[in-house]
Amino acid sequence: MNRRLGPWFEHTGRKLDPGLIEQLRNNRKTDPLETSNHEIPVIVHFKKEYEQAAKNNILQTCNKVSHNKLDKEFRLINGMQGYLTPAMIKQIKDDDSVERIFYDRRVSAFLDIASHHTGASQVKEQLQLTGKDVTIAVIDTGIYPHEDLTNPVNRIIAFKDLVAGKEDPYDDNGHGTHCAGDAAGNGYLSEGEYISPAPEASIIGIKALDSDGGGRLSTIMEGIEWCIEHKKEYNIRIISLSLGAPAYESFRDDPLSLTVQEAWHQGIVVCAAAGNSGPQSSTISTPAINPFVLTVGSADDNDTLKREDDSIAEYSSRGPTIDSFIKPDVYSPGSNIISLLAPDSAVEKQLPEQIINKGYIQMSGTSMATPICAGIIALMLEVNPHLSPNDIKSILQSTARPMLNDTWGYIDAVGAVNMAENYQSWRKEVTRS
């Protein structure tokens, strides 16, 4: 008796990622003969050993047929982004120059629904550190020029809009503005009441998520590449990513994971939110699954200054990762964080009861924990600009207080900054011993 093999896309080995196979399966339900012009957003990953001519042949094949287009290049992973029909995917998948084809899946901001607690305020008071001359790039929904970022000096030194191409800073969702304030708000409008760990750090807003807080892997990747390209121009030392997507594959095969890994190797500390899918285990999202980057989980301080009653926030995603790595790498406050409000934004309309004194709003999630961690890293780099991303991660983990019943503990700004200041001499002593 003959056995039926099933649809072609289920017998392609590693050529198609699981997300793309699922999309093709869904399309097959409504279009069994695959004759429609349904456009699927994809990222085509080319083999490194093939010359540009081979890539050009694929581009020509795709772009000459209507409803198919590859037009955005990602040099870091040797890939192209665009839209292809199922028929075109089937046609090019076995080309010798094609390594893999990914579904350009949706990415979303991590939102569920402080400074004193982490020790950042003590660092400011005792060591006079404020993150000055360190730049944090916040890849998110944009950034509103809030007074806490623009007075007395405008610290929004650049803005890149990958969604609508606008020149002036804006945030139609509000999530990115809150995150920027978590890292670098100076409390100007609140007379110092709502102040971040790095109130003099420079901020770059990169709008990669739309007014609904959603986007595609490719847009986030484009924002990361922009940061690498402009690293020297703006002294970008930190990228804060309060966003992510479900992780279906190893960090070695995930395009967003590979892109943040390259930024890390280029000397930029990448802080990635663990995600808000807790308390279930194995829920770390991409790009936080990457073992190099700093994955930040959220702690709940239960609105007290003592640490004895702190706990891992219920919503905070847990490890291990899909590759069985232990994550998160460190925990930071993320519950009920008061930060900057973007007027007329989606968040303002959705959470009116959370608005504080008009200029601020209270939000929770690993989205908030991540930029708070980024702000503390800015203090470390201010006191010791020579620290590498690996140095930063090692210091944060070794100084974190293990009081959350997890492998790694709660971030400690005082301990981290003190070790950062003396890190070179400390490392030499360890080497000699």
Residues designated catalytic: 140, 175, 367
Q: Where are the alpha helices (DSSP H) in 73-131?
A: 86-92, 115-118, 120-127
Assign residue 379 a region: left if phi > 0, alpha if psi is -120 to 50, beta otherwise? alpha
Count other C-beta atoms under 10 Å from residue 425's C-beta. Answer: 9
- Of the candidates 232, 128, 252, 148, the one whose C-alpha atom is nearest the C-alpha of residue 190 is 148
* Bridge partner residues of 44 (DSSP): 80, 101
Q: How far is Cα 40 from Cα 50, in angstroms, rounded to an integer?
A: 25
Determine phi and psi for 345, rounding to 5 degrees: -90, 165
Angle in degrees, CA 326, 330, 336, rounded to 5: 125
CA distances to 65, 70, 131, 182, 380 from 201, rounded to whole Å, are: 48, 38, 4, 12, 12
DSSP string, 136-195: EEEEES-----HHHHSSS--EEEEEESSS--SS---SSSHHHHHHHHHH---TTTTTSS-
Rounded-to-5 percentages of helix, strand, coil across the chain: 35, 20, 45
Angle in degrees, CA 341, 342, 345, rounded to 5: 120
Residue 271 DSSP label: E
Q: How far is Cα 153 from Cα 113, in angstroms, rounded to an integer?
A: 33
CA distances to 143, 160, 225, 326, 341 from 137, rounded to whole Å, are: 11, 10, 12, 26, 18
Neighbouring C-alpha atoms within 13 Å toward the C-beta of 201: 40
CA 138 to chain centre: 8
Determine phi and psi for 41, rounding to 5 degrees: -70, 130
